[in-house]
Amino acid sequence: DKMKYKIGDKVKIKTWDQTKNKYGLDVDRVCRQFNRDMEKNYWQNDS
């Protein structure tokens, strides 16, 4: 159940680490972009 984890949880970071390992992404940049998108969507949906 993903919804019980907050943005930036170690669980989510671990998921992105695994993604980087698989695809060779810059995990820090991806995490920051992902969190920005999530925050943007959260505030848009909240209003």
Concatenating the DSSP letter of every residue in 2-41 gives: GGGSPTT-HHHHHHHHHHHHHH---HHHHHHHHHHHHHHH
How far apart are alpha carbons 33 and 46 in whole angstroms?
Answer: 20
Tens digit of each residue's pLDDT (9 = 90 or more) over 5-42? 565 555 555 565 665 556 555 666 777 777 787 777 66
- Per-residue pLDDT, 35: 78
Model pTM greater than 0.85? no
